[in-house]
Structure 1
Amino acid sequence: MKITSISRKLLSKVLSVYFILTFSVTGIQIIAEYFNTKSHINSELLTLQKTISGSLTRAVWELNTQQAIDISEGLIAIPMIKGITVTDEANKVITQLGEVLTLSSTAQESYSEHQSISSISEGLFGHSFPLIFEFSGRTTTVGTVTLLSSNDVIFGRIEVGIYFLIGNAIVKTAFLIFLFSLAFTKLLTEPLQELTDQMKQLDLHDPEASKFHSMNNERNELNVLEDAYNNLIDELVAFKDKLALSQRETNLANDKLDEQNLLLEQEVARKTSTLSRTLLRMEVQQKDMLAQQHQLKAENNRRRKTETTLITTNKDLKISIIELSRAQDRLLEAEKMASLGLLSAEVSHEINTPIGISITSASYLSDIIHKFQQDINSQKLSKRTIDSFIDNAGQCVELLSNNLQRAAELITSFKQVAVDQTNDKVRLINVAKYLDEIIHSIHPKLKKTNHSIKVHCDPHIEIYTHPGAIAQIIINLIINSISHGFPNINRGEMTIDIAVEQQRLVILYRDNGVGVNEQQLERIFEPFYTTQANNGGTGLGTHIIKNLVIDTLNGSIDVYSAEGKGLRYRITFPDMRYS
Structure 2
Amino acid sequence: MASVQTGLSRKLLTRVLSVYFFLTFIVTIGQIFTEYLSTKSHIESELQTLKNTFSTSLTRAIWEVNLPQAQSIAEGLMELPIVTGVQIRDENGDYIADLGVTIAQIRAPITSGELEDHDGGLFSYSFPLVFEFSNRASTVGDVTLYSNFDIIFGRIEVGIFFLVGNAIVKTAFLVFLFMTAFRRMLSDPLMEVTQKMSAFNPDNPEKSKIYLHLEEENELRLLQYSYNQVIDDLIVSQQQLRNTQSELQRVNKKLDDQNLLLEQEVAKKTASLSQIMLDLERQKDELIANQRELRQENENRQYIENVLREKNSELAQSMENLKLAQDQLLESERMASLGGLVAGIAHDVNTPLGVGVTAASFLNERLVEIRKDYDNKSLTNNTMASFLDEAEQTTSLLLTNLHRASDLITSFKQVAVDQTSEAERVFNLNNYLREILQSLGPTFKHTKHEVSISCPEDLFICSAPGIIAQIITNMIMNSIIHGFENKSDGHIVIEVKRDKEDVLLNYQDDGAGMTADQLSQLFDAFFTTKRGEGGSGLGTHIMYNLVTQALDGNIEAFSEPGKGLRYEIRFPART
Shared fold per TM-score greater than 0.5: yes
Q: Which amino acid aligns with 1:531?
A: T
- Which residue is equivalent to 1:445? 443
Question: Offset at 1:480?
Answer: 1.3
Counterpart code for 1:456:
S
Secondary structure of 2:286's counterpart equals helix
- What residue is the counterpart of 1:559 in the other structure? 557
- Whether 2:363 is the aligned partner of 1:358: answer no
| 1:322 counterpart residue number | 320
Task: Find the residue that maps to 2:486 and give its secondary structure.
Answer: coil
SS of residue matched to 2:503: strand
* Alignment partners' CA distance in 1, 2:226 and 2:529: 87
Determine the structure 1 residue equivalent to 2:403: 405
The aligned amino acid for 1:509 is Y
Match of 1:333 in 2: 331
Q: 1:514 aligns with which of 512, 515, 521?
A: 512
Deviation at 1:511, TM superposition (A): 0.9
Could you say which residue in structure 2 is the equivalent of 1:349?
347
- 1:497 offset after TM fit, Å? 1.1
Structure 1 pair 425–285 and aligned structure 2 pair: CA distance change class (3 A): closer
Residues 1:539 and 1:241: Cα distance change in structure 2 (over 3 Å): closer
Q: Summarize the Cα distance change of 1:293–1:200 in structure 2 as closer, same or farther, 3 Å threshold.
A: farther
Inter-partner Cα distance in structure 1 for 2:199 and 2:241: 15
Contact 2:424 2:462 in 1 (8 A): yes
Is contact 2:430–2:455 with CA below 8 Å preserved after alignment?
A: yes
Q: Which residue of 1 aligns with 2:201?
A: 201
TM-score (structure 2 length as normaliser) = 0.56
Which stretch has the larger CA shift, 302-311 or 474-483? 302-311
Q: Answer whether contact 1:456 1:496 (CA < 8 A) is retained.
A: yes
Q: CA deviation at 1:223?
A: 11
1:234 corresponds in structure 2 to 239
Picking from 297, 304, 308, the partner of 2:306 is 308
CA contact (8 A) 2:206 2:231 kept: no
2:183 equivalent in structure 1:
none
3-state DSSP class of the match of 1:506? strand
Q: CA deviation at 1:488?
A: 1.6
Bigger drift between 523-532 and 348-357 goes to: 523-532
Displacement, 1:478?
Answer: 1.0
Aligned partner of 1:332: which letter? L
- Tell me the amino acid that sits aligned with residue 238 of structure 2: I
Count of aligned pairs: 378
1:503 to partner: Cα distance: 3.3
SS at match of 1:547: helix
The alignment partner of 2:426 has SS state of strand
Alignment of 1:32-431 (within 5 A): 201-203=201-203, 229=234, 231-239=236-244, 246=250, 273-378=271-376, 380-382=378-380, 384-431=382-429
Contact 1:211–1:230 (8 Å) recurs in 2: no
Could you state the TM-score of these two structures normalised by the residue count of structure 1?
0.56
CA contact (8 A) 2:547 2:571 kept: yes
SS in 1 for 2:524: coil
For structure 2, the residue ranges without an aligned partner over 5 or more in a row are 1-189, 212-219
Q: Tell me the equivalent position of 2:571.
A: 573
Identical aligned residues as a percent: 40
Classify the secondary structure of the residue corresponding to 2:498.
strand
User: Aligned residue for 1:187?
Assistant: none
Q: Residues 318-358 of structure 1, C-alpha deviation per residue, up to 9 Å, x if partnerless?
A: 33323332332232222212211220111001111111222
RMSD: 4.2
Question: Residue 374 and residue 296 in structure 1: after superposition, are their counterparts in 2 closer, same or farther (change >3 A)?
Answer: same
Aligned partners of 1:264 and 1:542: how far apart in 2? 88
Q: Answer whether contact 1:212 1:229 (CA < 8 A) is retained.
A: no
Secondary structure of the 1:568 match is: strand
Structure 1 distance, partners of 2:199, 2:550, is 82
Q: Would the aligned equivalents of 2:345 and 2:408 in 1 still touch at CA under 8 Å?
A: yes
Conserved 8 A contact 1:494-1:512: yes
Structure-1 residue corresponding to 2:92: none
**Which is greater in Rg?**
2
Distance 1:212 1:485, change over 3 A: farther
Cα pair 2:205 2:231 within 8 Å, conserved? no
Residue aligned with 1:565, SS: coil
